[in-house]
Amino acid sequence: MELEGRIRKAEFICRCCGECCSGKDNEVMVSPDEIDLLCQATGLTRDQIAEPYPEWIRDGGAVFTFGRVLRRGEDGNCMFLADSKCTVYEHRPHICRTYPFMLDGENLLVFECSGCKSGAETPDAEQMAKDLLARREAEDKEFLLTKEQYQKHSMVLGSTIIFDSRGAHLHK
C-alpha cells in the first residue's frame, strides 16, 4: 500500500496533549538549517536554541559528537513548549512535524501516543506523507554531508568537537 494509505489506516489524530514535547526522552535532533529557521523566527542565537547531541564519543584524546538537539528546560520539556502548546509551531523541525510517524527504509513506524488508535482514519494523510518524505530526504542529506565533514577533519587531541553538515565545530 502506498505511504499515504498506510498513514490513513494508522488512525492517528493529534490530541495536542504536548506529551511528545515533554519529559526527558524527547530528544529532538535539529539540522543546521532547522536551527537557522528557529533563530530567524525567535531572534534567539543558535546556542540558545540547540545543544550538542548528548552522546559523546571518545577516541584517543579527542571527544566528539554528531549534530545537535533542541534545548530543554530543567523539567525536561522542550524549551518551546508552553501550556502544552508549541510556540514555534509554524517553524517546528521535521521530527516534530511527522511525530508519531517515522520511515525506516520503506517501512512506516508508528510510535504509541495518545493520538493513536483514534478509531477514525488519520486526517491530512497526504500532507503527512509529503512531510515524511521531505524529512527522509533532509536527514539523508545531513547524514552524508556530516560524514564527509567527519572524514576530512582530523581530530585534535584534547578537543571537543561537534560535527554537522557544515563542518567541525569546537565545543567550549
Binding residue for ligand SF4 (CB under 6 A) from 4, 6, 11, 14? 14
CA 171 from centroid of its chain's CA atoms:
20
| Pairing of the two strands 50-52 and 68-70 | antiparallel
Half-sphere exposure of 141 (CA within 13 A, CB side): 10
By beta-carbon proximity to ligand SF4, the closer residue of 72 and 163 is 72
- Site for ligand SF4 contains 125 (CB under 6 A): no
Contact call for residues 138 and 41 (beta carbons, < 8 A): no
Pick 100 or 123: Cβ nearer ligand SF4: 100
CB nearer to ligand SF4: pick between 35 and 162: 35
Our finding on whether 123 is near ligand SF4 (CB under 6 A) is no
The stretch among 43-51, 110-118, 123-131, 136-144 that binds ligand SF4 (CB under 6 A) is 110-118
Q: How far is the CB of 34 from ligand SF4 (least distance, A)?
A: 10
Give the ranges where 10-124 is alpha helix by DSSP (H). 32-42, 46-49, 94-98
Q: Is 77 helix (H, G, I), strand (E, B) or coil?
A: coil
Cell reading at 154: 582530523
**Residue in 99, 128, 129, 164 binding ligand SF4, rule: CB under 6 A:** 99
